[in-house]
Amino acid sequence: MTSSTDGGADRAKPAPFWDVLGERPIGFTLVTAMGDEPVGFVGLSVAHVSAEPPLLSVALDARNKALERIERSGAFAINFLSAANEPVARAFLKKGASAAERFPPATWTTLVTGSPVLPDASGVFDCQVERVVDLGHAKLVVGRVVGSRASGQDSPLVFFRGALCPTPPTG
């Protein structure tokens, strides 16, 4: 940094919020719930909260239609997508896609709560809602894990700079 005439350091203009977040490669995750019909969204803000008890959290816009279903059903699932799930990921990224396009019956199953899970996802957590925290424009949903499965059979699907990036298989 160089000094300015007033003795302070020049400050770089901050990058737009979403541009900076886009620089972080993240596993492509779908959060799903069941109501009258299945609902889901791309959950890029899924986080581990606790191992004992097993708790996970997901943040979402308070206006997201899935939030009402999650709160009403008291359950949701977290699906970590594999490279094999890229067509499903693309259906969720498509603006205006119908539930039928996102949830073809032969593609989805359930574990414990009835929330939709992908049988060939890299990993799945089935959760019961433990708590919903109001954060203004967003809500943080904390779920207790009541079922899980890991396939370990395919490489993960990664989201980076606004695009899907299948990763090469490892060892």
Which domains does the chain show, CATH number per domain?
A: 26-152 (2.30.110.10)
Q: What is the DSSP letter of 9?
A: B
Residue 160's pLDDT is: 84
Give the Cα separation of 98 and 104 in Å (integer). 10
**pTM for this prediction:** 0.84
Q: Are 159 and 165 a contacting pair, CB within 8 Å?
A: yes
Q: Note the pLDDT tens digit of each residue in 107-135.
A: 899 999 999 999 989 999 999 999 999 99
The phi and psi torsions of 141 (rounded to 5 degrees) equal: -105, 125
| Average pLDDT value for residue range 131-146 | 95
- Both tokens assigned to 74: 């008291």
Burial class (CB in 10 A: 0-12, 13-18, 19+), 132: middle
Residue 167 reports pLDDT greater than 50 = yes
Q: In degrees rounded to 5, what are phi and psi of residue 145?
A: -70, 125
Residue 19 has pLDDT above 90, yes or no: no
Q: How many CB atoms lie within 10 A of CB 116?
A: 24
**pLDDT at 13 exceeding the cut of 70:** no
Residue 111: its pLDDT value, please? Answer: 94
State what percent of residues in the chain have pLDDT above 90. Answer: 57
Work out the mean pLDDT of the chain and round it to a whole number: 87
